[in-house]
Amino acid sequence: MIIIMKHGATREHVEELSRHIERWGVKANPIYGEGTTVIGLVGDTGAVDKDALMRDPQVENILKVQEPFKLANRKFHPDNTEVEIAPGVVVGGKKLVVMAGPCSVESEEQIIDVARHVQAEGATVLRGGAWKPRSSPYSFQGLKAEGLELLHKAHNETGLPVVTEITNPAHIDLFMDKCDCFQVGARNMQNFELLKELGATDKPILLKRGFANTMEEFLMSAEYIMAGGNENVILCERGIRTYETYTRNTLDISAVPVLKRMSHLPVVVDPSHAGGIYWMVEPLAKAAVAAGADGLMIEVHNDPAHALSDGAQSLTYDSFHETMTSLRAVALAVGREI
Ligand code: PEP
Ligand code: MN
């Protein structure tokens, strides 16, 4: 349920009303927008006396929210949410955020070299996997804690904030001061215990869409994190499984406008895992920016032919340079910048 306040409703009144509403056993979230202030009610709203609320002189209207996601719902929060990964690195504003780096951290030289190159091209977040959730137990599983240390070293060398995937809630303490943003991978989008524990942290979460999940399921996973008190969620579309086998996944470009309409959370696109092959990354990234994405996650490797994971889809330094150059033109055409 959302309560829409009249134009000019005072903050004191909204706070007082929120306290009053909470006596009915629901959580009241006042959201002070530029034009309108709304109070989002979360929980069992059965006991809320709508008629009494409508008699409040500063209440304009009361709407029932049909969707099961509340905190992630744009109706609760009409303005776009901006998630700050590090000072000056904000996802959801005019400036697009490019997160780039290898699929896996492989060595100190590799991660620092890649970090320097992607930074020089305009990436503002370094990505790199330390724990790798691979489809086969015989594939490279990541350098784990050592990989996390190396990411931290690359951060110290370049100043780039780091996003890296967490697969196990027991690792949260270990990750806490080694990364700036937790990545929840597609395979863990519905690992609810992980989501709940991440909801108790205050670090941004890049939540990737599972390859067979609907938009509503995706937003319910964001809701799990937000219900725990962490509203710094970035949604990431990374391709879904369809009947097509030519591409690794099918990039669901419609996810961008749909998620933007359903939710106030920022949306980024990962064209690397969507297409699964290097030459598809640039056109898919351009499409994502044109469709309104707030950022991109792109795999870049110093030597893709010898990468320990996802080499086929990784960009070389030269192709990342070309991609960033063409992305700047598309960003400009849609009123954004990189
Ligand atoms: C990754 O980012 O390297 C990754 C494993 O992605 P996804 O979870 O989207 O497959
Ligand atoms: Mn990968």
**Do 135 and 127 touch, CB atoms closer than 8 A?**
no
Contacts of 93 (CB under 8 A, 6+ apart): 82, 294
CA distance 153 to 155: 5
In this prediction, residue 36 carries a pLDDT of 85
The 2-5 sheet, strands edge to edge? 27-32, 37-42, 2-5, 59-63
Other beta carbons less than 10 A from residue 327's beta carbon: 24
SS3 category, 172: helix
* Helix, strand, coil abundance in the chain, percent, nearest 5: 40, 20, 40
Is 176 a residue whose pLDDT tops 90? yes
Residue of the CA atom closest to atom 4 of ligand 1: 185
Is 232 a residue whose pLDDT tops 90? yes
- Ligand 1 neighbour 75 (Cβ under 6 A): no
Calculate how far, in angstroms, residue 127's C-alpha sits from the geometric centre of ligand 1: 11
CA distance 119 to 100: 9
Each residue of 298-338: pLDDT tens digit? 999 999 999 999 999 999 999 999 999 999 999 999 999 99
Measured CA angle at 252 (ends 250, 254), to 5 deg: 155
Is 199 a residue whose pLDDT tops 90? yes
* Average pLDDT of the residues in 122-133: 98
Q: Which amino acid is at 162?
A: V
Q: Percent of the chain at pLDDT above 70?
A: 100
- Ligand 1 neighbour 273 (Cβ under 6 A): yes
Q: What is the DSSP string of 97-119?
A: EEEEE-SB---HHHHHHHHHHHH
Calculate how far, in angstroms, residue 201's C-alpha sits from the geometric centre of ligand 1: 22
Q: What is the DSSP string of 218-268?
A: HHHHHHHHHHTT---EEEEE--B--S--SSSSB--TTHHHHHHHHBSS-EE
* Average pLDDT of the residues in 288-297: 98
CA distance 168 to 164: 12
Q: What is the DSSP string of 287-302?
A: HHHHHT-SEEEEEB-S
Calculate how far, in angstroms, residue 185's C-alpha sits from the geometric centre of ligand 2: 10
Calculate how far, in angstroms, residue 10's C-alpha sits from the geometric centre of ligand 2: 49
In this prediction, residue 26 carries a pLDDT of 94
Please return the burial class of 64, using the count of CB atoms within 10 Å of its CB with bins 0-12, 13-18 and 19+: exposed
- Ligand 1 neighbour 101 (Cβ under 6 A): no
SS3 category, 86: strand
- Best residue for ligand 1 mutational test, from 188, 208, 211, 314 (most atoms within 8 Å of Cβ): 208
In this prediction, residue 140 carries a pLDDT of 96
CA distance 160 to 70: 33
Each residue of 8-62: pLDDT tens digit? 999 999 999 999 999 999 999 999 987 789 999 998 898 999 999 999 999 999 9
- Ligand 1 neighbour 129 (Cβ under 6 A): yes
Calculate how far, in angstroms, residue 324's C-alpha sits from the geometric centre of ligand 2: 19
